[in-house]
Amino acid sequence: MAVSLVSVRELSHRYGGTHALQKLSFEITESSLWGLLGPNGSGKSTLFRILSTLLPVQSGEAYICGASLKSHQGVARRNLAVCFQTPALDVRLTGLENLKCQAALYGLTGVQVKDRVKELGQRLAISDVLGAAVSTLSGGFRRRIELAKALLHRPRVLLLDEPTTGLDVHSRIEFWKILKSLRDDYGTTVIVSTHLMEEADQCDQLLMLNRGVIAAQGSPVELRSRMTGERLRIRCRSVEAVLSQLVSRLGSPTSQHGDEVIWHTQKAGQRLSALVDSCRDDLLSIELSQPTLEDVFLTLTGSSLVEASDSVQGG
C-alpha cells in the first residue's frame, strides 16, 4: 500500500476578505509525480507557498511526511526541498561552491558532501561544469545545479515551481527525464507547478485548481476521458464573415480567440468536406484532434488555464 507523504485536509487561505483557497483536501503518495495546474488567480501559487512553508496554515491541516505544517515546520523542512521559479544560485560562485554552501546549511560535511556531490554530478550530468562560475553556464545547466542543491539532503518530497521556465525544448525534455528518474530510482515524490500541457501530460496525477477550489483531479488519461467527441480548431481570414455558416453546421463554438475558433463536437471529421466547400476562400487552416487537458479545464470551469484572473489575489 502506497504511503501518503503529502496530506491536505480542508485547507483554506484568505488575503483580507478574499478567499484564495477554499477547503482543499487531497493526498499525494510516495514515488509519484504530481502536477499543479491552474490559471492566475486559481490559488496554485498560494498552495505552493503553503506546502513550501513560506505561508502559514490559516485554516485546515497540511502534513509533509507526517509533520504538521502548523506545529512542526522544522521536521517537515528536513524532508522537503523546493526549487522556485526565480533562480537561487549565486552566479559569482562556481557550481561546486553553491553546492557546498547548501550542504553547510543542512549540516553536511566532509566525505558526506563529497560523495553526494559526486553522485548528483553524475546523475544530473553536471560533473564537468561544477568548477565553472555559474554566470558562464547555460540556463539548462543552472537549472540542473539548482536541482542538485535541492537534492543534497535527500528529501522525500521535491516541490518545483515552473522549473523549465526559460529553457529550450531539448533542455526541458532532459529535465523531465531527470525528474522521472528521481521518482523511479530514489522514490522521490515530485510536485510540479506548470502551465505547459506537454509537461502536465507526463505527470502521474494532476490537480486542477480554479478560483481556490479543486476543479478536477486524476491522471491525464482519466481527465481526458471525461471529454467526448473531437476537438476542431479553425482559423479564418475573417471569422465574422463565416461564423454564421460555421455555427449552422457545427453549433456554437467552445471558444474564440482572434482568427481562431474551437469546437468540441461529435463526428467532426464527417462534416469537414461540406464545411470546406462552403467556406473554402476564408479558411486558413483546420485541425482535428482529440481533446487536450486545456479542453478538459475549459469544459469544467468555463475558463482557460492560461487566462489571467483578477478575482483572487495571490493566485
Domain boundary among 198, 223, 248: 223
CA 294, CA 302: separation in Å to the nearest integer? Answer: 11
Q: How many domains does the chain have?
A: 2
**Amino acid 287: pLDDT:** 82
Asked if the structure places residue 193 within a domain, the reply is yes
Domain of residue 76 covers 4-223
Contact (Cβ atoms closer than 8 angstroms) between residue 191 and residue 160? yes
Same domain, 136 and 57: yes
**Does residue 273 sit in helix, strand or coil?**
helix
C-alpha span between 99 and 147 (Å, rounded): 10
User: Among all chains, which residue has been given the C-alpha cell 561544469?
Assistant: 129
Question: Distance between CA atoms of 191 and 132, rounded to whole angstroms?
Answer: 30
Q: Does residue 235 share a domain with residue 219?
A: no
Per-block mean pLDDT, blocks of 10 residues, the chain (315 long): 89 95 96 92 93 96 97 95 91 97 94 96 95 96 94 95 88 91 93 90 95 94 82 82 76 75 73 72 80 81 58 46
Residues in Cβ contact with 128 at an 8 Å cutoff, skipping those fewer than 6 apart? none
Among left, alpha and beta (phi > 0; psi -120 to 50; other), residue 93 is beta
Domain boundary among 223, 254, 273: 223
Whether 147 and 242 share a structural domain: no
Same domain, 204 and 265: no
Identify whether residues 235 and 150 lie together within a single domain. Answer: no
**Domain-embedded: residue 299:** no
Return the number of other C-beta atoms located less than 10 Å from residue 261's C-beta: 21
Q: What is the pLDDT of residue 22?
A: 96
Residues 97 and 216 in one domain: yes
The continuous run of DSSP H or E covering 118 comes out as helix 110-123
The CATH number for 271's domain is: 3.30.70.1150
Domain membership of residue 233 (yes or no) is: yes
* Whether residue 210 sits in one domain with residue 63: yes
Task: Decide if 311 is inside a domain.
Answer: no
Pick the closest to residue 30 from 147, 156, 214 (CA basis).
Answer: 156
Sequence-distant (6+) residues with CB within 8 A of 104 are none
Instruction: Judge contact between 142 and 64, C-beta under 8 A.
Output: no
Cβ-in-10-Å burial (0-12, 13-18, 19+) of 248 comes to exposed
Q: Is residue 56 part of a domain?
A: yes
Burial of 252 (0-12, 13-18, 19+ CB in 10 A): exposed
Give Cβ neighbours of residue 32 (< 8 Å, ≥ 6 apart).
2, 183, 189, 190, 204, 205
CB atoms within 10 A of CB 272: 15
Residue 265: per-residue pLDDT: 73
Q: Do 211 and 235 have their domain in common? A: no
Residue 1: its pLDDT value, please? Answer: 64
Q: What is the CATH number of the domain that holds 100?
A: 3.40.50.300
Regarding whether 142 and 250 lie in a shared domain, the answer is: no
pLDDT for residue 314:
47
In a domain? residue 23: yes
Do 163 and 249 belong to one domain?
no
The pLDDT assigned to 28 comes to 97
Residue 50 domain-assigned?
yes
Q: Which residue has the cell 455558416?
A: 245
- On whether both 237 and 110 belong to a single domain, the answer is no
Residue 308 lies in a domain: no
Q: Are residues 199 and 250 in the same domain?
A: no
**Cα separation, 145 vs 147, whole angstroms:** 5
- Last residue within a domain, chosen from 223, 248, 269: 223
Cβ pair 309, 303 in contact under 8 A: yes
Q: CA geometry: angle at 39 spanning 227 and 211, to 5°?
A: 90
Residues shown for the chain: 315
